[in-house]
Chain A
Amino acid sequence: MTATAETHRLTTAKAMVDGIAAEMERDPSVFYLGEDVGAYGGIFGSSTGLLDRFGATRVIDTPISETAFIGLAVGAAVEGMRPIVELMFVDFFGVCMDQIYNHMAKISYESGGNVRVPMVLTTAVGGGYSDGAQHSQCLWGTFAHLPGMKVVVPSNPYDAKGLMISAIRDDSPVVYMFHKGVMGLAWMAKNRRAIDEVPDEAYTVPIGKARIARPGAAVTVVTVSLSVHHTLDVAEKLAGEGIDVEVIDLRSLVPLDRDAIVTSVRKTGRLVVVDEDYLSFGLSGEVVASVTDVDPSLLRAPVARVAVPDVPIPYAHSLEYAVLPRHDRIEAAIRDVAAA
């Protein structure tokens, strides 16, 4: 972004919509469909204002029928359109996963590259507001585990817009997972980083390139989405005590920027992974392996993983906060690794 570029302060949700609108303006084959994405504007503000601007032929409310309308997006993409289709909560993937991982994600490979599926699947993730076990999961590890779909997870307004534009322009299917806690919604607890200056112009953030959210020399924390905000809060606090934390915002799980992880650990020798998804068989293990596969001796201390300990997300506030990676657990892990 140039110094002269016009910017506006936007929430993450508005920045995401800004990116969609820019591409809908530019490319008539882009359309947005899903449940309550029209007059309501998306339950989490993912399509606010788009109906008024582009009309009901391009911003399309669907029946509660995820298999049919996500599959419809697959077929439309195969025919050269560029659908953006919203799965309201990622937790609902169970009713439509076949269309996602057997069709959307596999057609390119099965066709030997002769068929492209240029679509974006958007979905809300994450907990922290007592929505219970069926509406609070992240599950990005599940999507990242299954080959054929790129998986992006923005944490802030700038990335939300830039990654959205990249996702729409990508000729491969992209899963765009937005955490409700970073969207800057009026009716949900907000982090101050959920609103920021965003360029008015269309710009891209490359998919597969991590961002150093905070440079530091003592401990590397690799994380994503809302946990980036929590980690930055903790890092600022610990800086006052002389613990210099480097925070890496992955931004994209597929492709995963393993070089950025290794480069940082090569510098600090210490690694903490913070992941709001489940602990076992997931992102946190993958990040650790990204280092140990290259050179285990880069690690001068045992690794700490702060994740959801393989339990359905509880309802009661006290229980939910006990299992989510929040400030207290992140801080304790960083202190342990820094002291080891």
Chain B
Amino acid sequence: MTVPTAPPPAEAPGGGPEKIDAETRVELYRTMVLVRAFEEAMLREYHADKGPGFDIGKGLVPGEMHLAAGQEPVAAGVCAHLSTDDAVTATHRPHHFAIAHGIDLRRMTAEIFGRETGLGRGRGGHMHLFDPQTHFSCSGIIAEGYPPALGQAFAFQRRGTDRIAVAVTGEGAANQGAFHESLNLAALWKLPVVFIVEDNDWGISVPRSASTSVPSNAARAAAYDMPGERVEDNAVEAVYAAAGRAVARARAGDGPSLIEVHTLRLWGHFEGDAQGYRKDIEDVPGRDPIPTYERTLREAGLLDDDAVSQLRASAAAHVEDAVTFAKDSPAPDPAEALRYVFAGGTS
């Protein structure tokens, strides 16, 4: 594991899941800083050699790139309750959840760079990260990561463990059939799943007001007889508290919960997105959750200049090590393009 996580609060003697200690608060901040360091490095590497002009298929990191800057509180707050025995299924914007869940940063970066040392040996790319060690996966098709998460939860339940699955979508995906089918089946079979909706206000260019009939997707949980909770302010500790309740419920065998977090897409839907459609662009930087949380922790006396510098330097070193590893790794052999279609490496 690359990111130390707090023990599940449900297991902490004397404390409810909402209780948050100083160490956990700093850990949440550390996770967010690491994620941001990674996304900034991807931004840099992605755009470094796309020119002249902008050619999406050019460069060391080709293809679409969906970065999660601004959405760190969701991943940090949820994954703080998980161990790598638990499953996480993220979206096409997966890096923050992958990192917060403890994925190997070198192998994830190598996959994004399309290298043989990557998680998928360069066959997957940034929207298709699969890590059996941390039970992490993601999907480029919105809402369609939910059903496989049910299956992971089903397997955990059948084996009599208290392991759980966390399934993430965006608010636009909550209008897909797979979302509703999954909530129904998970509630029906009391599967240990925590459903997370990241409401970043935008389904690519379409505002949620133009896509979604309810003010809160958390309200939709009522239709499936499960708890639904909306966290309004992209605050990591509020996410942490809500997730603590949902995770404890799932581990106890009481079934699924739904949490929607009103978060923030700091950058475009994908890199290269000029965001001409976006009306809130002026005040977006002011809503960045990381400086906000940093202030909170400074005021609480948990962080000072030195601690912040050290955390940032450590995150940067960790990320640059992964980027260097990726760049130094070989590209997959074109002669092996057909390998791994089937198990055992056959085509």
Contact = CB atoms under 8 A, between A and B. Distances in A.
Interface size class on chain B is 35 or more
B148 A72 contact: yes
Interface in A18-75: 57, 62-63, 65, 67-75
A111 B152 contact: no
Nearest to B144: A98
B130 A99 contact: no
B11 to A, nearest CB: 23
Contact of B341 (A74, A103, A108, A116): A108
A115 B136 CA distance: 11
B141 A98 contact: yes
Contacts of B144: 67, 71, 98-99, 102-103
A97 B304 CA distance: 53
A110 interface: yes
Nearest to A85: B151
B156 A79 contact: yes
A72 B137 contact: no
B225 to A, nearest CB: 14
B185 A109 contact: no
Given A70-B147, A114-B130, A81 B120 contact: no
Interface residues of A, number: 44
Contact of B120 (A68, A111, A150): A111
A75 B149 contact: yes
- Which among A98, A150, A170 has the highest number of chain B CB atoms within 10 Å? A98
A256 B320 CA distance: 47
A68 B181 contact: yes
A76 B151 contact: yes
B151 A113 contact: no
Contacts of A83: 151
B93 interface: no
A77 interface: yes
A71 B146 contact: yes
A172 B342 contact: yes
Contacts of A116: 343
B185 A62 contact: yes
Contacts of B158: 57, 81
Given A68-B178, A75-B165, A99-B144, A110 B152 contact: no
A147 interface: yes
Interface in B133-147: 135, 137, 139-141, 144, 146-147
Interface in B112-150: 118-125, 128, 130-132, 135, 137, 139-141, 144, 146-150
A118 interface: yes
30 contacts: A63-B188, A65-B181, A67-B178, A68-B178, A68-B184, A69-B185, A70-B147, A71-B148, A75-B148, A75-B149, A75-B150, A76-B152, A79-B155, A81-B154, A99-B144, A99-B147, A102-B141, A103-B147, A107-B130, A108-B341, A108-B343, A109-B123, A110-B124, A111-B120, A111-B132, A112-B121, A112-B122, A114-B121, A114-B132, A172-B342
Interface of A: 57, 62-63, 65, 67-81, 83, 95, 98-99, 102-103, 106-118, 147-148, 150, 170-172
Interface of B: 87, 118-125, 128, 130-132, 135, 137, 139-141, 144, 146-156, 158, 165, 177-178, 181-182, 184-185, 188, 339-345
